[in-house]
Amino acid sequence: MTADPLHALDEEQLAAVTAPRGPVCVLAGAGTGKTRTITRRIAHLVGTGHVAPGQVLAVTFTARAAGELRTRLRALGAGGVQARTFHAAALRQLRYFWPRVVGDRQWQLIEHKLRAVGQAAVRAKAGTDQDSVRDLTTEIEWAKSSLITPAEYPAAVARLRRDSPGPAEQVAAVYAHYEELKNRAEMLDFDDLLLHTAAALEEHAVVAEEFRDRYRCFVVDEYQDVTALQQRVLDAWLGDRDDLTVVGDANQTIYTFAGATPKHLLEFPRRFPEAVVVRLQRDYRSTPQVVAAANTLISAARGRVAGSRLRLEGQLPPGPDPDFTEHDDEPAEAAAVARRIRRLIADGTPAAEIAVLFRINAQSEAYEQALADAGIPFQVRGGERFFKRPEVRRAVSVLRMAGQRGGDDLVGTVRALLAPVGLTDEPPAGASARTQWESLLALVGLAEELVAVRDGIDLPAFVVELETRADAAHPPTVQGVTLASLHAAKGLEWDVVFLVGLVDGTLPIQHAEGDDDAIEEERRLLYVGITRARRVLAMSWALTRAPGKGRQRRRSRFLHGLIPDHHPASRIAADRSSGNKPRCRVCGSPLLGAEAMKMRRCGDCPSDVDMELLDRLRSWRAVAAKEQQVPAYVVFTDATLAAIAEHRPSDVAALVGIPGIGARKLDRYGPDVLALVADRR
């Protein structure tokens, strides 16, 4: 039975779903049903016969997200619709058109990109150590995604005041050499796939005609993260037509480092003045508690562009408050998270409904270890690691060697072939044996999934699918706790989310320091993380990396304002600051160094707080407290004053975004506070 595409939609969602074919734009916050709206729209258009399933192309940004789209579409009876990443769609089209556009010359996807960039760096006499080469590679990718050629690079860097990983002329030379090396070897990188696809359609009328005849209706999810290059492909797909639905949330733009920009999303209504534009604000995913944390975090963002100021309204019944925990070191943090997960599972939460999210993949290992030690099955998402696990490599090679065996029953064949390498009927005892068993089972699950959607798929085709997925880092679903980077978690949701490793230097990441835009992108990453949780949201950090060793760290500056004043984590801060271990009054972390002690804040906190304003607020508070004969903290706590001096709210809306300022305080003190801030401006 398939669901009715018009069932359980609110008024605004329904408007987007049932809008006639043509431009539609949904600008909305996290969890408001954007992905739901586009899948329903596709199913509705297909179901009512307005378009054939094969004529729809839905694109998104990760293989995982494309997989989710396909799953949802299948459930709605629109399984024939193509849902792919930009790259996968381009790869397919290019394979098809290539012979006509280029002729007999073959091409290959570049396998050792870093090596090629390294060689180019040698030629350009640039840095060739691992870090430099990686930075150069990222920079080349940014330039290509932004449609900037080597020759244009230096001027673009100057125009954008971009921090390039070396002298601009030299980076341009590396970029030029890389292109040359790659082209000479007749290889394409991922960006070339998109470039060539766009070029094929732009320059070959016959190709464009055939393509546009085939695909007539386009849908883009997560449109806030489109790059100039992807936009060019999209424009080539469209031609002069306008049957395009886009949905996105500018506050979840997290790939600007790679050339993405929310500009195309925000300007869509201007580009297509006749577009149906819908804004969604009701959050159907998360409890009001989680929604409040998300609103608080994002309302403190600096330089938000018009069109991104949406305030989410939680629709679910209330749940627990988000919680915050400080640990001495990372292994202690990981062990505590694993213990808590074990209790959750014992109390009935399915492991697959729990996620641990972190900023960088290197953080994963401590959690893999801790979960394995606790005997909890898990999967690492967004990573190529699944296909690198020894048991998976062994399994894939067994399947490959089996060749044509098996006949019709793919699932049965896969099971039988994997039995000798460890796929028993019942899960084995022991944590690591269990993890391996889950991986093998996931391969069987994938076979089941594919059989359901692809007629006549046989073993060799299955092996090809596995290889493609290994290339695209798209692992099958394992029934276990999800470990994922914040980037890889976009668009997904879990009942329980642990956001771990929340220290300055990790989130925001070290290299964002000193660049306001980069810091804001880090804030959006945390916003993405928070909004993944349906009910339980646990945030934690550790003061040192390893037990008893290393530099002291402080909890992420973004938590300031999220942690309520009365919360134990803040209380620790208050207690210790009056005892022998003083803490920063801005962020609550331990204070290090004499200067910090004197200022009662960390060296890098002050740039955020207007000290002069803070002093004036303090004097004002003293007078107000005296007038009303109450202690000063009853007017506003220190933390609230610091937050005001940090965020410098310019209007009532911004002022209520600061924790500790409810309706009563707003009435009583709002005008005074805003006047003080305005004075300073």
Q: Which listed range, 23-31, 164-172, 184-192, 205-213, lies at the site for ligand ATP (CB under 6 A)? A: 23-31
Q: Which of 12, 35, 387, 557 binds ligand ATP (CB under 6 A)?
A: 35
10 contact, one of Mg ion, ligand ATP, none, CB 5-8 Å limit per kind: ligand ATP
CB of 532 to ligand ATP, least distance (A): 7
In 10 A of CB 118, how many CB atoms?
22
Distance CA(616)–CA(346), nearest Å, equals 53
**Does 33 contact ligand ATP by CB under 6 A?**
yes
Dihedral sign for Cα atoms in the order 640, 646, 652, 653: negative
284 contact, one of Mg ion, ligand ATP, none, CB 5-8 Å limit per kind: ligand ATP
Nearest CB to ligand ATP, comparing residues 354 and 614: 354
33 contact, one of ligand ATP, Mg ion, none, CB 5-8 Å limit per kind: ligand ATP
From the number of C-beta atoms within 10 Å of its C-beta (0-12, 13-18, 19+), residue 382 rates as buried
Longest Cα–Cα distance of the chain, Å, equals 88
CB of 300 to Mg ion, least distance (A): 23
Residue with tokens 């190709």: 207
Nearest CB to ligand ATP, comparing residues 30 and 207: 30
Nearest CB to ligand ATP, comparing residues 30 and 466: 30
Q: What residues from 512 to 571 belong to the interface with Mg ion (CB under 5 A)?
A: none
249 contact, one of ligand ATP, Mg ion, none, CB 5-8 Å limit per kind: ligand ATP
Alpha-carbon torsion angle 31, 35, 39, 42, nearest 10: 120
Nearest CB to Mg ion, comparing residues 229 and 492: 492
The site string for ligand ATP over 265-304 (x = CB under 6 A, - otherwise) reads: -------------------xx-------------------
In this structure, what token pair is assigned to residue 678? 């305005």
45 HSE (CA, 13 A, CB side): 28
Q: Supply the DSSP symbol for 334.
A: H
Which helix (DSSP H) or strand (DSSP E) does residue 282 occupy?
strand 282-283
In this structure, what token pair is assigned to residue 621? 């508070």
Nearest CB to Mg ion, comparing residues 65 and 442: 65
Distance CA(334)–CA(364), nearest Å, equals 10
CB of 558 to Mg ion, least distance (A): 22
Q: What residues from 391 to 450 belong to the interface with ligand ATP (CB under 6 A)?
A: none
**Does 35 contact Mg ion by CB under 5 A?**
yes
Nearest CB to Mg ion, comparing residues 196 and 285: 285
Dihedral sign for Cα atoms in the order 100, 106, 110, 111: positive
Distance CA(477)–CA(229), nearest Å, equals 31
Q: Which of 8, 206, 634, 652 binds ligand ATP (CB under 6 A)?
A: 8
Q: Which listed range, 30-38, 104-112, 571-579, 613-621, lies at the site for ligand ATP (CB under 6 A)? A: 30-38
**Does 17 contact ligand ATP by CB under 6 A?**
no
In 10 A of CB 48, how many CB atoms?
10
3-state secondary structure string across 214-273: HCCEEEECCHHHCEHHHHHHHHHHHCCCCCEEEEECHHHCCCHHHCECCHHHHHHHHHCC
Give every CB contact of residue 161 below 8 A, 6+ residues apart in sequence: none
**Does 560 contact ligand ATP by CB under 6 A?**
no
Q: Which listed range, 26-34, 137-145, 405-413, 434-442, lies at the site for ligand ATP (CB under 6 A)? A: 26-34
Are 220 and 234 a contacting pair, CB within 8 Å?
yes
**Does 32 contact ligand ATP by CB under 6 A?**
yes
Integer angstrom CA distances of residue 633 from 266, 587, 636: 42, 18, 5
Size of the site for ligand ATP (CB under 6 A): 19
Phi-psi region of 126 (alpha: psi -120 to 50; beta: other; left: phi over 0): beta
Distance CA(501)–CA(495), nearest Å, equals 20
**Does 659 contact ligand ATP by CB under 6 A?**
no
CB of 537 to ligand ATP, least distance (A): 14
Nearest CB to ligand ATP, comparing residues 10 and 672: 10
Nearest CB to Mg ion, comparing residues 39 and 589: 39
Q: Which of 27, 30, 148, 198 binds ligand ATP (CB under 6 A)?
A: 30
Q: What residues from 509 to 538 belong to the interface with ligand ATP (CB under 6 A)?
A: 531
**Does 251 contact Mg ion by CB under 5 A?**
no
Nearest CB to ligand ATP, comparing residues 34 and 144: 34
Integer angstrom CA distances of residue 275 from 40, 83, 282: 18, 23, 22
Q: Which listed range, 159-167, 209-217, 277-285, 490-498, lies at the site for Mg ion (CB under 5 A)? A: 490-498
480 contact, one of ligand ATP, Mg ion, none, CB 5-8 Å limit per kind: none
Distance CA(639)–CA(645), nearest Å, equals 10
CB of 66 to Mg ion, least distance (A): 12
* Residue nearest ligand ATP (C-beta atom): 33
Are 206 and 99 a contacting pair, CB within 8 Å?
no
SS3 422: coil
CB of 295 to ligand ATP, least distance (A): 14
**Does 224 contact ligand ATP by CB under 6 A?**
no
CB of 191 to ligand ATP, least distance (A): 25
Q: What single string gives the DSSP state of each residue in 588-621?
A: -PBP-SHHHHHHTS-TTSGGGS-HHHHHHHHHHH
**Does 491 contact Mg ion by CB under 5 A?**
yes
Residues interacting with ligand ATP, by CB under 6 A? 8-10, 13, 28, 30-36, 249, 252, 284-285, 491, 493, 531
**Binding interface with Mg ion (CB under 5 A):** 34-35, 491
